[in-house]
Amino acid sequence: MELEQIWEKAVALLADEISAVSFNSWIKPIKAVSMTDAKVVLCVPFGVNRNMIMTKYFSLIESCLEMVTSKKRTIEVIVSEDMEEENRDPLQKESTLNPRYNFDNFIKGKSNEMAYVAALAVAETDSPSKAYNPLFLYGGSGLGKTHMLHAIGNYYLENYPKRKVLYTTSEKFTYELVTAIREKTNQEFRNKYRKVDLLLIDDVQFFAGRELAQEELFHTFNALYDSDKQIVLTSDRLPTEIPQIEERIRTRFSSGLSVDVQPPEYETRMAILKSKLQAEYLQVDDDIVAFIAENVKSNVRELEGAVKRIVLYAGIKRTSLITMDLVAEAIADLMKNQQKRRITPQVIISEVEKYYMLPSGSLVSKKRSNDVVLPRQVAMYICREILDDPSFPKIGESFKRDHSTAMHGVGKVKKELDENSDLRSVIDEIITNIKRD
Ligand code: ADP
Ligand code: MG
């Protein structure tokens, strides 16, 4: 039987199990994409569809599929928005400025004021001051760094339409470089990056460990800087905190102005929510907006997520009356995310991997290369320092090792800490990350 037929039959079974409204909202939009012996991949249009399926319909769909095919398979749900993003040619991906991101729709507040002022100053001038070059914007995810980067480019082009602006990400830069080397088009690559008036590079933390790209970036940077062209960079952390990056690049990154973007405080959250709700033509009472601002706190992307959900729920319920109940229902998932997660060895391991930009699973793997040994010991040390039950056998077990290895690892870090004060700040930062989420 073809997958299409199988899915049709499963859908017919599902229709009997759930209400028509839920069926239309959540089951109908699903497309079956592929099937193997072990799993069926389903595709849905939005993240909220996926959440709904994962929380409410997951096992029901699995059993219906099993009934049709007489074989137990798990399902995987992917979101088509993400799929488009991934399938797009990486060279095309974000190669241009996004006009949706501008200064007019960027809400200022205490948390981003410094960054905003610096970004606007850079965008307004065609003869950059060395004091602002490069401008280095850093801060957590979803706080508006990419937005500001595009806003700088858009604003600058409005004032200086003949100038050349290039927006790129560290990943795209690396990808293009590798392609250029393979296809022997290095010169074109160089011209493209060294003949611009304003270079915007997003997420430079991902240059970590990419030596070839760093080498090229170094020369690109110097060429632009020496001819007084503005460079703006973003990162999730300060240059000094990016691991595996050459010292000379770190120095260049830090040589201008570094400004951080903080998570929005209450007033800014209120202002952002009001502006985004208004953009959706929704009128919502202030006390309801306040309820959202009190419950969704971590970043702007989540605030936008809340607004999108409210729009969607209002659509499903065919109402334009936004009540407290509707909002509470719409953002229930988001509110759950805000609750503090319990700190387990796995949480620590995954934060340490993230910090050192190692693939997930590296620390519990058998690998003993230099790039994982210290991070693994650091993770063991943090387990010892912050877990409720930090016995060595427990720690060892979490890393698929015995207690003596855990003891040795923790001891190593302790010793290193006596001599190396940078390591203390690294560990403190990781602990902050662990406690923040
Ligand atoms: P980052 O690059 O820091 O991870 P983004 O720039 O991608 O964050 O921002 C996430 C989303 O939040 C974007 O849709 C952006 O337009 C929006 N956003 C962030 N900060 C603001 C702000 N101050 N005002 C309005 N929208 C914002
Ligand atoms: Mg970004």
- Quick check: is 102 in a domain? no
Residues 140 and 22 in one domain: no
- The tens place of each residue's pLDDT in the chain, 437 residues long, gives 889 999 999 999 999 888 888 888 899 999 998 888 888 989 888 877 887 888 788 889 999 999 899 988 989 888 876 555 444 444 433 348 998 999 999 999 999 999 999 999 999 999 888 889 999 999 999 999 999 999 999 999 999 999 999 999 999 999 999 999 999 999 999 999 999 999 999 999 999 989 999 999 999 999 999 999 999 999 999 999 898 899 999 999 999 999 999 999 999 999 999 999 998 888 899 999 999 999 998 899 999 999 999 988 888 888 878 999 999 998 987 777 666 667 899 999 999 999 999 999 999 999 999 899 999 999 999 999 988 878 899 999 999 999 999 999 999 999 999 888 889 889 999 998 888 76
Domain count of the chain?
A: 4
Residues sharing a CB contact under 8 Å with residue 39, sequence separation 6 or more, in sequence order: 73, 74, 75, 76
Look at residues 324, 340, 356 and tell me which one is the last residue of a structural domain.
Answer: 340
State the CATH number of the domain containing residue 329.
1.10.8.60
| Contacting residues for 312 by C-beta, under 8 A, at least 6 apart | 46, 48, 330
| Angle at CA of residue 272, ends 96 and 46, nearest 5° | 60
95 Cα–ligand 2 center, Å: 14
Does residue 97 form part of some domain? no
Residue carrying the six token digits 């994962």 = 54
Please indicate, yes or no, if residue 90 is contained in any of the structural domains: no
Our answer on whether the CB atom of 150 is closer than 6 Å to any ligand 1 atom is no
From 85, 104, 136, the end of a domain falls on 85
Q: Is residue 96 part of a domain?
A: no
Q: Is the peptide bond before 134 cis (omega within 30 degrees of 0)?
A: yes
Residue 356 makes CB contacts below 8 A (sequence gap 6+) with: 243, 371, 375
Q: Report if residue 106 sits inside a domain.
A: no
Q: Which domain covers residue 298, as residue numbers?
A: 266-340
Q: How far apart are CA 48 and CA 308, in angstroms?
A: 9
Considering the domain boundaries, does residue 240 fall inside one?
yes
298 in contact with ligand 1, CB cutoff 6 A: no
CATH number at residue 416: 1.10.1750.10
Give the chain's largest Cα–Cα span.
Answer: 70
Q: Which of 340, 361, 384 is the last residue of a domain?
A: 340
Ligand 1 site-directed mutation target among 94, 200, 296, 300, most atoms within 8 Å of CB: 300
From the CA of 143, give the closest atom in ligand 1: 3
| CB neighbourhood size of 352 (10 A) | 27
DSSP three-state, residue 16:
helix
In a domain, 231, yes or no: yes
